Structure 1
């Protein structure tokens, strides 16, 4: 598995992140794989956000 996460479609563009449950893809290779896959399918990717799970907050947050 190279990439996994969520994609949100807004106003003709896709925003991607790496939130996927148990599998935690990260880094440039995960971002590139996700972006290329959506662009090959004809979408414009406007943003990729890498996130980590904050156990104290109990939710995903943007990686610092």
Structure 2
């Protein structure tokens, strides 16, 4: 998909220098990947404390059952 974007050349040059990326496309692609990863992390973090768990669950008991069934 072709796009025509007005980008700050100083920001692009700094990102290329810091990231060791040679092309503008490479910088934008890497920035988008990092942006998406960060947003996914924020989404996951927002789920902390929202999942109910059973305090009596014995994970060791079930771990042994799963290991023996392989």
Q: 1 or 2, which has the higher helix percentage?
A: 2
Is the TM-score greater than 0.5? Answer: no
Q: Which has the larger radius of gyration?
A: 2
Structure number with greater CO (CA < 8 Å, separation at least 6) is: 1
Q: 1 or 2, which has the higher strand percentage?
A: 1
TM-score (norm: length of structure 2): 0.26
TM-score (norm: length of structure 1): 0.28
